[in-house]
Amino acid sequence: MIEADTYYGNREFAESLRKVARFLMISQLPPPQPGWAQQHNEFLKPKWARSFEPPSVCPSATVDNINSLIDLYLHTHRAELLEPIPNAIRWLKASRLPNGKWGRFLELGTNKPLY
């Protein structure tokens, strides 16, 4: 969508990017786990997805969303898009396992890896 907006400048593309940015901003979970879930319900709470995707905080989704926020910032120059990133990075660093990796999903409230 960023490329479409860059090359075509259609107002619909810019509006789509605005909606994506808003969703990323409002779907970040609150501290002490300020990452993102794999799936959300209509109240933006983590929910079950496929049978092996429990309601949890997902480090890989968090990394992807951080990258998306950076891309959106570079495209729009809206500084508020960078605001969620420091807390998410702190959480990611604190959530690493002894081997330096993350669990696929981290349990809500405890941050324990779920496999």
Determine if the pTM surpasses 0.85.
yes
Per-residue tens of pLDDT for the chain, all 115 residues: 999 999 998 999 999 999 999 999 999 999 999 999 999 999 999 999 888 899 999 999 999 999 999 999 999 999 999 999 999 999 999 999 999 999 999 999 999 999 8
Domain range holding 90? Answer: 2-114
| Rounded CA separation 78/10 (Å) | 19
Q: Which amino acid is at 23?
A: F
Domain count, the chain: 1
Output the DSSP codes for 54-115: -SEE-HHHHHHHHHHHHHHHHHH--GGGGTTHHHHHHHHHHT--TTS---SEEETTT--EE-
Please, are residues 82 and 73 in contact by the beta-carbon 8 Å criterion?
yes
